[in-house]
Amino acid sequence: MTDHENNRTVLNALPLGYRFNEFEIKEVIGGGGFGIVYRAWDHQLERTIAIKEFMPSSLAVRSDDMTLVLRSERFGKAFSAGLNSFIQEARLLARFNHPNLVHVLRFWVQNDTAYMGTLFYTGTTLTRLREQQPDLIDEAWIRRMLPMLFGAIKTIHDEGFLHRDISPDNIQIQENGLPVLLDLGSARRTIGNLNDETETMLRPGYAPLEQYTDDNESEQGAWTDIYAVGAVLHTLIVGSPPPVSVVRSIQDTYVPLAERQPAGYSLALLSAVDKALALHVQDRPQSIDEFAELIEMPVSDINDVLTVKKTGTMLAVVEEEEPGLTDWRRYKVPGMIAAGVLAGIIAGGLLFSGGGSDDEKAPAAETAGRTTPESQPQAATPTQAETAPASASATAQAPAETAPAAQQAAPAVPAAAPVALVYVRIHDGETLKLNGETQNVTPGTSGFVPLKLAPGRYELVLQNGGQSRTQTLNIGKAGTWLVNPAG
């Protein structure tokens, strides 16, 4: 679809070429009932960004001078409340700097409405991905994606906020395979509450029962978002969301996944999804950490987080050869209780820093699959300018290289540059040998030590007294490995 054709299909969209000072509208990405999302060019910093406009089409229309005009004076209260929620949401998202959570650059008020400028993420929604590539999604794929999603949600919860609008339409899978949790949809809910249309503003199947009640604020908590995540997982596993929660409260026809036992999925994952989808809040996991433990993703057993061919390892391709340790340390999770959150922060932070694309390529990136801008349709791939603070920190505190010696078991080329960043889980009292040579390393607070390794074959041995754990690595390309050798 060309820019011109897309612009004509979105009612009330700004014309192509419209300028907000340094920002020029280049494309209308999508539009829905509560907003319009544009691809724009920042002439000052020479980069592509996404701009989301608050445009509730049921309440207002655009006049010839580009300002918004209410359809009726009786909509004034709802419009003002929605606009305020939109602005507050922008301020909230701007506080976060998590690689798997949409990042707001700035917001402003103009044309009698408000605008939110964000990074531009290429890719497609989880909904569209499942429709187009159903064979791609299995338990291994889910377990690689889920820790990063958990990390984004926990970041919001740790600040005392809830998302309240998690669904496959609000999760974007970038071209590098990493998920991004998109905006919170605060304005949409606010307008629904004021117009007594709460039910129509919620996503059927993904909203728990407490979001439909009059006293919804007092009953909502982390368990509210956990229900929605459970519904997303249910959709990925069987192809459809669970029955609508209000219908279930009258006659619950939900068949537990643990009973259905769809092929290729572990009982641990299925049972955790069933528990997350419990009707009553007290029966669900009460935190992301607790949910991660149900899926068997504790820090003490990182193997359950990372599903690959070899026990205890994960290989994720990155574009940068020199990711920094602080890329994942800077996204702190109090206590580091759930390895699901930890792995999400590690993988998301490292891959995010190398996942940007050039501005010249952005217009050609796939933007299909999002038609509801209240969930922020395909907005955005971050540029190096946006990730500069993280990169600077990484440069200052990058882990020291642990160079493999010329070992008898490693036919690697000695002069080859390191391409893999390997995090090795070390228990208290253990020493690490790499191809027979003892390494002078100290684990961080997470229990991992970083190694930078060139292509080749490596034998890892962790010893503590008479006990040992071993792991063989065959490194052939750039990547990030999390290793927890078996005993």
Check: CB of residue 481 under 8 Å from CB of residue 315.
yes
- Residues 103 and 105: their CA atoms lie apart, in Å, by 6
Residue with structure tokens 């998109």?
A: 182
CATH code: domain 125-310+324-352 is 1.10.510.10
Comparing 302 with 78, which gets the higher pLDDT?
Answer: 78
Highest mean pLDDT among 46-50, 196-200, 358-362, 385-389 belongs to 46-50
Q: Which runs of E-coded beta strand occur in 300-443?
A: 315-316, 420-425, 431-434, 437-439
Cα gap 258→256, rounded to integer Å: 5
Q: Which residue has the tokens 């319009």?
A: 36
Q: CATH fold of 399-483, please?
A: Immunoglobulin-like (2.60.40)
Q: Which residue has the tokens 């994952």?
A: 269
Phi and psi torsions of 349, nearest 5°: -65, -45
Q: Per residue in 397-451, pLDDT tens?
A: 333 333 343 344 444 444 456 667 777 878 888 999 999 999 988 876 556 777 8
3-class DSSP state of 85: helix
By CB atoms closer than 10 A (0-12, 13-18, 19+), residue 97 is middle
- Give the tens place of pLDDT for each residue, 137-157: 999 999 988 988 998 899 888
Average of per-residue pLDDT across 208-220: 74
pTM of the complete model beyond 0.85 = no
Q: What is the pLDDT at residue 219? A: 84
What mean pLDDT is reported for the chain? 73
- When pLDDT is cut at 50, 70 and 90, the band that residue 44 belongs to is very high
| Residue ranges of domains in the chain | 125-310+324-352, 399-483
Phi, psi angle pair for 8, to nearest 5°: -75, -25
Given this chain, do its domains 125-310+324-352 and 399-483 carry the same CATH topology? no
- The bridge status of strand 479-483 relative to strand 420-425 is parallel
Phi and psi based region of residue 460 (left: phi greater than 0; alpha: psi -120 to 50; beta: remaining): beta
Angstrom distance (rounded) from CA 296 to CA 290: 10
Residue with tokens 């939109």: 86
